[in-house]
Amino acid sequence: MKEGVAEIEFGSQRVAILRGGYYDRFRMNPDLDEVEKDSAVSDVDWFRRIPKQQVASRVGPIWAPNFYYHARSLQLLLATPIARLRAMLPEPLEPLRATPGRGLVALTFFTYDVCDNDPYQEVSIAAVVRRPGARGSHALELSDSVRRRSFFAHVLALPVDTEIAWVRGVQGYQLPKWRTAIDVSIGDEKEMRAGIQTTGGATDLVLSAPTPAFTDVTSQSRMATSTMLHQVDGRWHRTVVRTNTLSYAQRMFPRDVTLSRQGGPMSQLLDGLGASTALRMDVVRHAQIVLDLPVPLPAFDR
C-alpha cells in the first residue's frame, strides 16, 4: 500500500483513502470544532445549522448529508439543439427550452479542497430539465429558476479523480462516474485553466479563460440549489445540492473562453449534444456545499 494511503471497506469493496484525512478521521461525521481549525476553512456556521444523521442507504448505514467546506468551480452554460438533448434524456424528463429549438447543457469543473470524503476534482456534463410537474411557459420557468438560483438537471457524465469519490458516487448515488485525471486551476492567476484526460492518459477537454474580477459576499446571502433527477435501482430519485457562495464572478456571452475538444468521451458527449454557443460563464472562487442523499420521486415512476 502506498505511503499516506489507508484502505477501508465501503459497500461491497475495499477503497483507498487518504491516511489521516477527513474520511479516515471522521467517517463522514466530523467534529465541526476540529474542522473550524483547518486554515483552509473560513467558518462552519452554516454547517452547524444542518445536523447530520445516520441513515440507511444502498451501501449500509451512512452519515448524511455530505459537507464540502471549501469548493471552487468553473462552469460554461452552453446552448444545444433541443432535439439532440431530448434524444439523450430518459422519459419522463423534458429539457427546459432557453429559446425556440434550443436547450441548455452545463459543463462544470469542480475542485473540492476540503470535504468529508477528502480533496478531489470532478467534471460534470448536465442537461437542464423542467422541474417535476411543471406545465406552461418554458420562458417563465427559466426566468424563475434564474431569479431563485434553483435549477433541475440530469447528469449525463460525472468523472472524478479519487477512488472514494468514484465508489461513493456509483454505489451510493448510481451516478455516471468513472475515475480519471482532472486538473482545475481557479485562483489569483491571470488565467483559469481546467482539463480532463481520458482513462488512457490522453487529453479529452481543456477549458481556459482570463481570470475575472471576483465579488465577495457574506455567508448565506447568495444561496443556490441544484436538484439532480436520476434513477437509483430503476426508480426515480432527486438529489439536492445546496451551495453557499462566498466569492464569485459571472459573465454573459463570454468571448474570450477557449474550449478545446480532443476526442475523448467528454468531448464526444458535447459533440453529440451539439453544444456550441457559450451563453454564460460562472466562476466560483469560494463556496460551501451540502450534498443530500437521494430521495425517491414516486411521481416519475407512475
Q: What is the pLDDT of residues 223-258, one digit of tens each?
A: 999 999 999 999 999 999 999 999 999 999 999 999
Whole-angstrom Cα distance, residue 178 to residue 161? 8
**Which pLDDT score, from 0 to 100, does residue 82 have?**
97
Closest CA to 151 of 177, 125, 136, 130: 130
Q: Is 154 within a domain?
A: yes
How many other C-beta atoms lie within 10 A of the C-beta of residue 298?
A: 9
- Say what the pLDDT of residue 194 is: 98
Distance CA 124, CA 208 (A): 16
Give the count of domains, the chain.
Answer: 1
95 within a domain of the structure (yes/no):
yes
Query: Sorting pLDDT into bands at 50, 70 and 90, what band is 187?
Result: confident
Report the alpha-carbon distance of residue 207 to residue 211 in Å, rounded: 12
The 3-state DSSP class for residue 294 equals coil
Q: What is the mean pLDDT of the chain?
A: 95
Give mean pLDDT, residues 115-128. Answer: 97
pLDDT score at 203: 98
Domain presence at residue 109? yes
pLDDT at residue 299 tops 90:
no
For residue 265, pLDDT beyond 80: yes
Where is 140: in which H helix or E strand?
A: helix 138-148
Whether 37 is in a domain gets the answer no
Cis peptide before 81 (omega within 30 of 0): no
| 2-18 residue pLDDT tens | 668 889 888 778 899 99
CB 150 within 8 A of CB 130: no
Burial of 104 (0-12, 13-18, 19+ CB in 10 A): buried
**How much is the pLDDT for 58?**
84
Query: What CATH number is associated with residue 208?
Result: 2.40.400.10
The answer to whether 41 touches 69, Cβ cutoff 8 Å, is yes
Mean pLDDT of 177-185: 98
pLDDT at 3: 62
The boundaries of the domain holding residue 129 are 66-301
For 287, the 3-state DSSP assignment is strand
| Percent of the chain residues past pLDDT 90, beyond the cut | 88
Tens of pLDDT, residue by residue over 39-88, are 999 999 999 999 999 998 888 888 999 999 999 999 999 999 999 999 99
- What is the rounded distance in angstroms from the CA atom of residue 82 to the CA atom of residue 105? 10
Q: What are phi and psi of 177, to 5 degrees?
A: -105, 150
Give domain status of residue 103, yes or no.
yes
With a CB cutoff of 8 Å and minimum separation 6, the contacts of 123 are 107, 108, 109, 110, 157, 158, 159, 182, 194, 196, 205, 266
Residue 90 lies in a domain: yes
The pLDDT > 70 percentage for the chain reads: 99
pLDDT in tens, 131-175: 998 999 999 999 999 999 999 999 999 999 999 999 999 999 999
- Which is nearest to 15 in space by CA: 143, 174, 162? 162
Q: How far apart are CA 225 and CA 113, in angstroms?
A: 20
Residue 2 domain flag: no
Residue 26 placed within a domain: no
